[in-house]
Amino acid sequence: MTKNPYKGPDSFTVRAKREGYPARSVFKLEEIDRRVKLFRNGQRVLDLGAAPGSWSLYAAQRIGKTGRLLAMDLKPLDTVLPIHATFSQGDALSITNEQLALYAPYDVIVSDMAPATTGNRNADQARSFELYMRALAVAEALLAPGGHFVGKIFMGEDFSAAKQATKTAFKEERTIRPEGTRSVSYEVFLIGLQRKVDGKATITEAKPLAPLPEVAPVEELPAVDAPVDAPVAPIHDRDAPPRKIAGGTPRTAAPVPGGRAVPGGRAGAPAPKGRTATKHATKSSATAVPAKVHGARKRSVL
Ligand SMILES: C[S@@+](CC[C@H](N)C(=O)[O-])C[C@H]1O[C@@H](n2cnc3c(N)ncnc32)[C@H](O)[C@@H]1O
């Protein structure tokens, strides 16, 4: 029986987990960033096909809290993002450019979108091409002149058409197959550097960014030092004032039309018990990313 190359953790998977990223794909973006210098502090970034969230965590760290990131995916995101990042669930093939324009014009648009593979290579390539061309069309509409684009595509007969379209839209085109790509995979990344200025952009003026929500610092919980035989307070005291949740400013959805958006959070999944307020939720700086810090600390405040 042949070994399934996708089964079981390899060294990239182990390292990703150790560094706090949900997927090994983070090292592909890291390599692309190292080679073509994608990200800078303060940039606006759109991440298409963001789940489970490694690229978003990496990009959010690189742009820092003066930047903004909109992450979107078909699936819900089960990763807590820093507060300067927003997640929106939706289908890139049907969502409008306007719905993706929360922080437009973007400095960088990345797409790691991939279809669920069927085993039929031609069909998978055709769907990958469709996703790539959609991401490129979003980039043509929402990238600032001079902005950069990264898009994943499965190699196939449409590849040269995708490459040509990228060349047409950008001053420079590169094709990169990062080291972290599994040997059996036929994916590559087409990179468009410096979006050409032409009439296609739908948004050219940057909207002023809304300030990040003010969040009170987390107070340390007082030590419980009451004697064990001290009288126990009634469980429901209806006249008692409501209990304050330390650091507990709830995250609210940003106004992303057509999508379920959660700034600095995840959407589509209920918050696990005991994660209503965390130290992580109050820290939104780039230094709070990546890793152990991302996965918000579990601390029950009640
Ligand atoms: C390889 S994964 C992305 C991994 C991600 N970059 C990370 O680092 O965690 C590909 C993603 O593309 C998403 N996807 C596929 N088709 C999509 C579509 N039409 N719209 C939005 N996302 C899509 C999938 O749901 C999947 O989560």
CB atoms within 10 A of CB 73: 24
Q: Separation of 11 CA from ligand 1 center, angstroms?
A: 22
- Burial (Cβ within 10 Å: 0-12, 13-18, ≥19) of residue 151: buried
Q: Is 167 a catalytic residue?
A: no
pLDDT at res. 210:
75
Lining residues, ligand 1, CB within 6 Å: 22-23, 25-26, 49-55, 73-75, 91-93, 112-115, 131
pLDDT at res. 181:
84
pLDDT at res. 67:
97
pLDDT at res. 271:
36
Q: At 36, list the tokens.
A: 């073509």
| Domains of the chain with bracketed CATH | 20-195 (3.40.50.150)
pLDDT tens track, the chain, 302 positions: 455 555 667 888 999 999 999 999 999 999 999 999 999 999 999 999 999 999 999 999 999 999 999 999 999 999 999 999 999 999 999 999 999 999 999 999 999 999 999 999 999 999 999 999 999 999 999 999 999 999 999 999 999 999 999 999 999 999 999 988 877 789 999 999 999 987 666 666 676 777 777 655 444 444 545 444 444 433 333 333 433 323 333 333 344 444 445 556 554 443 333 322 333 333 333 333 333 334 332 222 22
pLDDT at res. 38:
97
pLDDT at res. 270:
38
CB atoms within 10 A of CB 155: 16
Q: Separation of 50 CA from ligand 1 center, angstroms?
A: 5
- Between the two ends of the chain, the Cα-to-Cα distance in Å is 52
Which atom of ligand 1 is closest in space to residue 23's alpha carbon? Answer: 9
How open is the CA angle 117-119-123, to the nearest 5 degrees? 70
pLDDT at res. 201:
64
